[in-house]
Amino acid sequence: MRRIPLLCVLALLGTTVLATPANAAPVALLSDPIYDYATAIRETVYVESPLDNDGDGIRDKIVADVIRPREAVAAGVKVPVIMDASPYYQCCGRGNESEKKVYAADGTVSKFPLYYDNYFVPRGYAFIAADLSGTSRSTGCEDVGGTAEVQGAKAVIDWLNGRVTGRNAAGAVVSATGWSTGKVGMIGKSWDGTVANGVAATGVPGLATIVPIGAISSWYDYNRANGMVNPRVSSVPSLHSLVNSRPSGTCSAVASALSSGHAASTGNYNSFWAARNFVPAAASVRASVFVVHGQNDLNVQGVHFGQWWDALAANNVPRKIWLAQEGHVDPFDFRRATWVSTLHRWFDYWLLGIDNGIMGEPMADVERAADVWQTSTLWPPSGTATANYVLQGTGNPGTLASSGAGSGSLSLTDAPSLSEANAVSSPTTARTGRKVYQTPVLTSDLRISGTPTITLRVRSSKATTTLTAKLVAYGTATRVNYRSSGEGISTLTTQSCWGSSSSTDDACYKDTAKVVSSAAYQVLSRGWMDGQHRDSLTATNPMNTSTYYTITWKLRPIDQVIPAGQRLGLVLTLTDPEFVTAHSTGATVTVDLAGSVLKLPIAPAGALAAPSALTAETPSVIYDGTVSPLAGTRFQ
């Protein structure tokens, strides 16, 4: 990457030089808050999309609300842009406190959600909060992961680089090339981060980095699971309705196309989903990628970071990853001080060209327990290898063995009312509809780092059935309670401030604490397969009731350590109504144990940096109730 001379950095950007004790050589540079936030330029630009998605004969206009340092213009200093493109700025709000855009009398934004503007504009960045097509003040229609959504956000980057036209509210052409370097970093949680993935997959020049947080990489895998519908999330048509801001009837054609394309009653993969799958386009990504994901995110599940990460790695995309123990939570709310510092250095490196050493640091930060993190030089760690575990015995429980072979057969009868809690708890108790296999008590820590797969040789009494597998750590421990209402965090009454404030936009946010509880087990990973989709996701193939089939599917990727003294368990069931639409056919499935195997990516001993408890940024709190369900289908 381009190196900026030290004197230029100090004079134009304002930086801090970090030094080690005893007058050692400088080790890093950081941009300083030298610009005045309160007097920053605020403007609204209507960027021309290449599409006319609402069919009115006029190209759609994407609203880019901009805030940038005024003094930089006077000094002739161009600045890079941090952008959060979102559908939520008016309907639902952003962040833990659901902040919305607030507008001044002249139509510009007087208060931006989140802290990105407060923190980074004084440090020599512009910030853009862009409304996705058909949301808030943008025209067009929101097509939920589709071409209009992605191309609209991409158009803002093209405008910053002088490739498309932007206008102000009066219709006058507005150019950004006089103040923008053209370099852009996209960031956002959930849908916002999903848009960043989609735009990066276009290979648009100027997009230097993306930071997708709890983001989707394939909309099929958000709404479906190997041929079955995911009942935990809002459907594509529902999401469109949630964020649509256009007058009644304007987007009826798009809404109708979404309803027919996503085919609510089927789990088939089709052209609709293919158009919303960014993974195959990873080879086009020119931006670096900083992935952040909760391993226990039951909304945007781990399949999204796992398959995206693997595709990026295969194409040598520069990348970094944080994996947390929380659910669908922003790192600002589970590791605030370290997150802001790391993000600062990440953007300084990729957008300002400051060689601060961040790319020479460990690739992965993984949370082991509440506020206890470990690092890995690479992820998955070098030396990670696949280990086979076989299923032995039909007792209660059976043995999950790392050597030998499986033998005999197991009969599973569908129990459609069996909850996950009843399926995985009390493993020595016989329960209809589930079978538990456990390792002996572990004599050393076992680290699973990557994507587990399960292969079962089965015969079904019906033409199809759901097949469900779950990995479980058995052993009482204090863990982050991702099933709490905050998905592992609790919002406190105190506040901390991150950046500069103005009379209309403060930089202060409520602090949070980890929610922990003592539990006898933790579900680490889940995976499902529809028997009739065993050969293909695009079409069904009913099972012959007299035939055995060897079926393999992936579980959700993880990086979890099962400590010595605990056991690793595999739980097999059929219907799993909490996670896939009840597909209960009343089947009885015979499992040939000799033809079945669990494959685990095991990291070698020594692949971990020593664990270190963080400085108490956020105290943990004990969850004082039973495990509660997540808060509905909230996507934000």
Distance of CA 631 to the CA centre of its chain: 17
User: Which segments of 114-208 does DSSP mark as H helices, in order?
Assistant: 116-120, 147-160, 191-200
Q: Is 27 exposed, middle or buried (0-12, 13-18, 19+ CB in 10 A)?
A: exposed
Which pLDDT does position 15 carry in this prediction? 53
3-state DSSP assignment of residue 424: helix
Check residue 408 and give its pLDDT. Answer: 87
**Contacts of 316 by beta carbon, 8 Å cutoff, 6+ apart:** none
**482-512 b/e with 16+ CB inside 10 Å = b?**
bbbebbbbbeeeeebebbbebeebebebebb
Torsion angle, alpha carbons of 308, 311, 316, 322, to 10: 30
Q: Is 89 helix (H, G, I), strand (E, B) or coil?
A: coil
Q: What is the CA radius of gyration of the chain?
A: 25
Q: Specify the pLDDT at position 609.
A: 57
Active-site amino acid positions: 190, 297, 328
Distance CA 350, CA 331 (A): 20
Distances (CA, A) of 378 to 290, 317, 359, 609: 14, 13, 12, 11
Token code pair at residue 266: 């089927």
Rounded to whole angstroms, how far apart are CA atoms 259 and 581? 18
Closest CA to 620 of 472, 484, 447, 473: 484
Tokens of 22: 């005893």
Distances (CA, A) of 481 to 8, 203, 476, 521, 606: 48, 39, 13, 11, 28
Cβ atoms of 368 and 374 closer than 8 Å:
yes
**What pLDDT score was predicted for residue 631?**
30
Q: Which of 594, 585, 582, 576 is nearest to 461 (CA)?
A: 585
Predicted local distance difference test score (pLDDT) of residue 610: 54
Per-residue pLDDT reduced to its tens digit, 461-493: 999 999 999 999 999 999 999 999 999 999 999
| Token pair for 98 | 């659901």
User: For the chain, percent helix, then strand, then coil, each to nearest 5?
Assistant: 20, 35, 45
3-class DSSP state for residue 150? helix
The CA dihedral of 23, 26, 29, 34, to the nearest 10 degrees, is: 30
Q: How far apart are CA 522 and CA 341, in angstroms?
A: 31
The backbone torsions φ and ψ at residue 472, rounded to the nearest 5 degrees and listed phi first, read -135, 135
pLDDT mean by block of 10 residues, the chain; 636 residues: 35 45 52 97 98 97 98 96 98 96 96 98 98 98 98 98 97 98 98 98 98 98 95 95 96 96 89 97 98 98 98 98 98 98 98 96 97 96 97 92 91 94 96 96 97 98 96 98 96 97 96 97 97 96 97 98 97 94 85 97 74 42 32 34
> Residue 49 has what pLDDT?
97
175 touches 167 (CB < 8 A): no
**Structure pTM?**
0.93
Strand partners, 528: 468
